[in-house]
Every structure is written in C-alpha cells, then in structure tokens.
C-alpha cells in the first residue's frame, strides 16, 4: 500500500493469552498498529495450544500473533516488571496502550501503570464482571445456547466448536482501544476499560432477542438444522453430498418453489393449511411438510445438477465442506483476503489479512518467534545498549 495504514502511529502493548485479548491485538496490528506482545520467558499458557504443525509449533499461536513483535520478560523478577512499566511510559504519543487478560497482578493493573503514564489506555479482559475466571465454553454453557443446539431428539447439551464469545470479545476490545484513543486525542485523558466475556455474551444474546423471548415466557426449542422463525434446512443429494438451503424472504421461497417445480404444490398446500408461505412464521410452522416435499428433488440430483437448478435464483444455498475441502479444492485461489506466508516453525501456509478493506489491504505477515524482538524493542524504546540487553538475558530477566 502506498498510503499510510489506518492505524499507523498507534503502539499497543499486549500481555495476553488464548483468544479474546490476542485477537484484539491482531485486529489492530492488521490495520497498521505496532503491536508488541509481551510473554513470560518460555511462553504463556497458549504457547503450545493445538492445532500443532509437524514441528510442534502451535498453528493457533502463530495465527493469532501474525504481524506482532514478540518480547519475553521474566514477570517474577522485579526488574522484568519494571521493564513492562518502562515500555508503557516510553512508547511515545501513540503508545501508552495496554491490552491484557491477566488478573491478580497489580503491577500490570491500571493504577500502577497510570502512575508512570497518566494518559494510559488500559483494556482488561475478564471472564465474569466480578473478576471470576471463565472461558467461552463455560460462558456458553451458562447462557443457554448448548440446550437449543443440535438434533431435535438429542437430550444433552451440544457445544459449539467456534468460540464465538471470545471472538466477539476480542473485536469489542479493539473497538474499546480505538474509542479511548479518540477520546484521548480530544481531551488528553486516558481510560480504564474492563470487558467481561460474560457481558459480551449477555449483550449479544440481548441484542438478538434471546433474553426478551425467554422473559416473555417462550422456551425456544431445539430444532436441528431448521431456521428458527423461517425456513432453512439441509438436504442430501444423489451423489452423497449435503447442501444447506435458506429462504429468509418470501421472494426467495417463491424462487425455491419455482426452481424445484413445486410452486403449484405449495400453492395448494397453502390453501389447505390456510397458510401464506410468503410469511416467515407460516414457513416455520409448516417447515416439516415443506422439507418433506423438497427432499425428493435434492435426492434425485447430483450436486452439480442442484447448482444448475438453483443458478440465477435468489435462493441462498451452499454445499457443506470440510476445511480440507476448502484448501484443497482451489476455492480460495485468487481470494484477495488470503496470502501465502512463510511462517517460522510451520512452513508456507495461507494467512488472512484484515477483512476490513480500506483502499486495499495490508499484506499479512508472519508471527515472530517467541521473544524474537526482545532486544530490538528494549533498545529502540528504552535505549538499552547491547551490553545492557545481554546482561539482562544472562540474569534471566529477559528471554
């Protein structure tokens, strides 16, 4: 890109692990911020989290830390903690920003760091609002989603494999950083921001109507792959594939009826049932009979014939794919979001840039090796000489 990156000049110190807090840093880094991840010597708890490359390097860790600088310090050593404070204080007009999910460490808290940097922006990601620890899976269990997920006849909970609340929390945290930086530019004041995973989950559940629905007395059922309040379902094809079909408007349902040759059948069914399939609720109420009429059409056709039959229609549909199908089938070729990078410890892999396209995209860059930027960051921001850095390493203060 020939022009300045959107967040050029912003410097963020990230002391974090797992998903939400590192995703905040990654989101900012991919828009041009200088993000310095500070880990304990030897790495944090997510250093070896699965999936792993054949070398044993965590693909998860490298994926969430693309484009960041990596510094390792001994947090148990007072000098290591003083180096953190020094980096906060010395990080320039666009710095003084800390993102962390560490708890119970006063030296990393807002009060102590604001003493060395009065305009500090400090974002603390928590599990529960009261400071109790939590992860996505425990928050989701307590919220209710696993008991409305899965086949209708299933009795137990079904966890979602995507840590959705972690992802939403990381993106909220990035918004928090940017809103606080905008305020600081206007007023010169810093900000203490706390963001609880549970609060993010509750907020989203509230925004989407789940809480109000329950408050009004409705207990949402488990409905398998149907769409609550409308019509969508998966269907098997003649060649053993499966497709997901969704109609979220009356026009889309009418197009599906026309494509499958069932327009007359559905019109007669509407008459018999006193229903209007142009209305979301009526399609949902009669979803089973609608699906039973559509099933033979899909079952009699191969996937390519389904694609041909639905081509040019407004119907929303997609074949089901594994990740391995996605990367091996050529479907990602030419996608401007993705580039192949040479990730140390992993090899050549596809990496995503920011999905926000603003006059182009910054190229994705590999994650640094753990601690690989320690000497450069300490020399550049704190002015330490090579002998001073070496002495710190010999004493075990830095990695």
Q: Which position among 39, 79, 111, 166 bears the catalytic label?
A: 166
Give the span between the Cα atoms of 153 and 225, in whole angstroms: 12
Which DSSP helix (H) or strand (E) runs through 175?
Answer: helix 164-187
Q: Are strands 191-196 and 34-40 parallel, antiparallel or unpaired?
A: unpaired
Query: Could you tell me if 301 and 241 are in contact, meaning their C-beta atoms sit under 8 angstroms apart?
Result: no
CA 141 to chain centre: 19
Give the span between the Cα atoms of 275 and 97, in whole angstroms: 58
Query: Could you tell me if 378 and 368 are in contact, meaning their C-beta atoms sit under 8 angstroms apart?
Result: no
Kindly give, in sequence order, each residue whose CB lies less than 8 Å from that of residue 67, ignoring residues fewer than 6 positions away: 26, 29, 30, 35, 362, 364, 365, 366, 367
> Which residues share a beta bridge with 13?
36, 98
Does the annotation count 166 as an active-site position?
A: yes
Query: Could you tell me if 267 and 243 are in contact, meaning their C-beta atoms sit under 8 angstroms apart?
Result: no
Q: Which residues are catalytic?
A: 166
């Amino acid at each position: 890109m020939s022009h300045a990156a959107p967040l050029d000049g912003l410097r963020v110190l990230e002391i974090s692990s797992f998903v939400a807090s590192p995703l905040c840093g990654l989101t900012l880094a991919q828009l041009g911020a200088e993000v310095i991840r500070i880990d304990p010597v030897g790495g944090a708890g997510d250093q070896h989290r699965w999936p792993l490359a054949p070398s044993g390097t965590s693909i998860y860790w490298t994926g969430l830390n693309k484009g960041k600088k990596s510094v390792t310090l001994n947090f148990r050593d007072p000098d290591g903690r003083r180096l953190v404070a020094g980096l906060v204080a010395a990080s320039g007009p666009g710095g003084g920003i800390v993102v962390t999910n560490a708890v119970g460490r006063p030296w990393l808290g807002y009060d102590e760091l604001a003493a060395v940097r009065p305009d500090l922006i400090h974002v603390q990601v928590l599990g529960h609002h009261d400071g109790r620890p939590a992860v996505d899976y425990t928050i989701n269990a307590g919220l209710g989603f696993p008991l409305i997920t899965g086949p209708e006849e299933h009795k137990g909970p079904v966890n979602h494999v995507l840590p959705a609340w972690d992802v939403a929390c990381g993106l909220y945290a990035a918004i928090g950083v940017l809103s606080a930086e905008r305020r600081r530019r206007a007023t010169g004041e810093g900000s203490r921001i706390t963001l609880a995973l549970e609060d993010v989950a509750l907020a989203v559940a509230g925004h989407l109507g789940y809480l109000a629905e329950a408050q009004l007395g409705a207990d949402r059922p488990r409905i398998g792959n149907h769409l609550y309040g409308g019509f969508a379902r998966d269907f098997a094809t003649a060649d053993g594939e499966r497709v997901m079909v969704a109609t979220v408007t009356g026009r889309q349902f009418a197009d599906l009826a026309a494509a499958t040759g069932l327009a007359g059948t559905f019109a007669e069914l509407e008459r018999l049932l006193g229903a209007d399939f142009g209305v979301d609720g009526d399609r949902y109420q009669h979803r089973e009979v609608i699906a039973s009429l559509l099933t033979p059409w899909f079952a009699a056709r191969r996937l390519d014939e389904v694609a041909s039959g639905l081509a040019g229609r407004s119907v929303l549909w997609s074949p089901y794919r594994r990740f391995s199908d996605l990367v091996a089938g050529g479907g990602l070729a030419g996608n401007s979001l993705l580039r192949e990078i040479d990730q140390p410890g992993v090899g050549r892999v596809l990496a995503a840039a920011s999905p926000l396209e603003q006059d182009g995209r910054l190229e994705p860059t590999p994650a640094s090796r753990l601690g690989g930027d320690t000497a450069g960051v300490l020399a550049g921001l704190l002015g330490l000489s090579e002998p001073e850095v070496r002495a710190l390493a010999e004493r075990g203060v830095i990695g």
